Amino acid sequence: MSVYGLIRFDIEDFITPESDEGLAAVLAAMEAFDMPGSYGLVGKKVQSLKSHHREDLLAKLGKQPSIGFHSLSHSEHPTLSEDLADRPYEEGVERFIAREKPGVQWVTELVGPPAYFTQPGGNWVPQACDALPQLQMPIFFSDAWNSYLVTSPQPMWIEDILHLSPPVATPKPFAMNLPDNLEDAVAMIHREAQMRRSGDIFMVMVHPTELMTTKFWDAVNFSFGATNSTLRPAPLRSRTDRDQAARAFYAYIKEIHQISGIEWLDVNSLANRLVPLGAPRLLDLTTLRTSVASHGLGPVVIADESYSAADLVVATALSMTGAPLGTRLPRVRAPRDWRSEENRQSADGERMPIDTVLSGARQIVNHVEKTHRLPGTVILGTSAVTIQDWMRTALAQFAPHTTSTVPLTFLNFVKEPNALHWDWPIFPPDFRPVGLWEDTRRLAWSLKYSQYRT
């Protein structure tokens, strides 16, 4: 198994006509060396290609094996995050679908059905995890710069989708500085081949419009929450600079496609190498307790099967209620009614009577059977007990001297606010959608490692 490289093109500039030539240049280079790529299309961009009579480019895109969706309009206000930030979660899911569905339809009709979604800029929204399956896109292809989840050289599952947040191995900005940064850009790929382990993924991120322009198209029109009264094309490079940039990109693809130790893939071919999302087997309580003691409540692989924090809780409840070992767990997703800052785990060593713990286990099993979701709390007597406190007390029944908390290690997979790209220049000043971050932490109950087929 090699290191896997992904090349993602974000094709988005629907205002600058010359950006079409940037797209033509990258398609020509990729075709010349038979390099697989993943092409994320903004809905209004494919519409502009049609209006510019670039059926040739639409046809070439239609032949690519991995087409993605890069939002309806990228940076137009309100952007996705601005639109969803203050909405209740379920309303936000419905709003995501309503506003983005026309763009999905345009991409489907003019190019082909998109297999993945890439958020525009800093607009990583947790509602995508519930909305994408309803839009027939089971993959969220983010990146280390913009994801709310930590950078990972390994694909992961969250809720019902495959999530990619790989390290980015391109200078920033990349294409806009070609040809001057060509040598450095190639050197970055050599380093990835040397430092990554077999099966790790990394990505190259390219905006074709940068080959043509000296500024980002959206920075010209939508900076800091405002919209120009008249939308303006981005300022262009000179004709000579554009030609040199296109030739440099061609040279870049020529160089990196032959670097040993890297297998270049598109998103669909990567996904086809992964074991489909499924329910792992029920474990015995001793194994569960040992795992949680070692790793906390978070993603873990046990006996070649992948478990989320939610899986571990449900497995504990099922084991306590007498379910047969080795059976498949029910599919379980994140709780709907859980907020990390409101559900801090008790640190005291008080234990519940075994009958009380079993009552909680039965509530968990019944809730999952009805909703396919982990409950955020269980009712024990007249009190609501957080699901993590129930888990700590349940495991303590089988380790008499256990008094510590159960670390919620799944939260370690969500970036802290100071690491998020809330400073994306398109957002309004001081824009901090804390609710989106909190919902991401809640959804991380379902986060688990993906695994390659053997």
| CA dihedral sign of residues 166, 171, 173, 177 | negative
Residue 349 has what pLDDT?
Answer: 47
Q: How far apart are CA 3 and CA 291, in angstroms?
A: 29
Return the pLDDT at 352: 74
> How far apart, in Å, are the Cα atoms of 140 and each of 70, 114, 375?
10, 11, 25
CA distance 306 to 287: 14
Closest CA to 40 of 80, 72, 83: 72
**pLDDT score of 17:** 98
Beta bridge partners of 306: 301
AA identity, residue 360:
G
Q: What is the mean pLDDT of residues 47-63?
A: 98
SS3 call for 269: helix
Mean pLDDT value across residues 158-180: 97
For helices 387-396 and 285-295, give the axis angle rounded to 10 degrees.
120
What's the pLDDT at 382? 82
Task: Give the pLDDT confidence score for residue 343 in this predicted structure.
Answer: 63
Write out pLDDT tens, residues 341-372: 666 665 454 567 888 899 999 999 999 999 99
Tell me what pLDDT residue 332 has.
97
What Cα–Cα distance (Å) separates residue 38 from each residue in 13, 81, 204?
Answer: 17, 24, 10
Q: Is the pLDDT assigned to residue 401 strictly greater than 70?
A: no
Read off the pLDDT of residues 210-259 as tens digits, 9 standing for 90 and up.
999 999 999 999 999 999 999 999 999 999 999 999 999 999 999 999 99
CATH of 3-274+432-438, one of 3.30.70.2190, 3.20.20.370, 3.40.50.300, 3.90.1150.10: 3.20.20.370
For the chain, give the mean pLDDT.
95
Whether the pLDDT of residue 176 is over 60: the answer is yes
Q: Is residue 129's pLDDT more than 70?
A: yes
Strand partners, 278: none
Structure tokens at 179: 């040809």
Output the pLDDT for position 210.
98
Predicted pLDDT of residue 405: 77
The residues spanned by each domain of the chain are 3-274+432-438, 285-413
Q: What percent of the chain lies above the pLDDT cut of 70?
A: 96
The pLDDT, as a whole number, for residue 1 is 76
Global pTM reads 0.96
Q: How many CB atoms lie within 10 A of CB 210?
A: 25
- The pLDDT value recorded for residue 236 is 98
pLDDT in tens, 290-333: 999 999 999 999 999 999 999 999 999 999 999 999 999 999 99
Q: 90-107, pLDDT tens digit by residue?
A: 999 999 999 999 999 999
Taking the C-alpha atoms of residue 340 and residue 441, their distance in angstroms, rounded to an integer, is 7
Taking residue 303's Cβ as centre, other Cβ atoms within 10 Å add up to 9
pLDDT tens profile 140-150 = 999 999 999 99
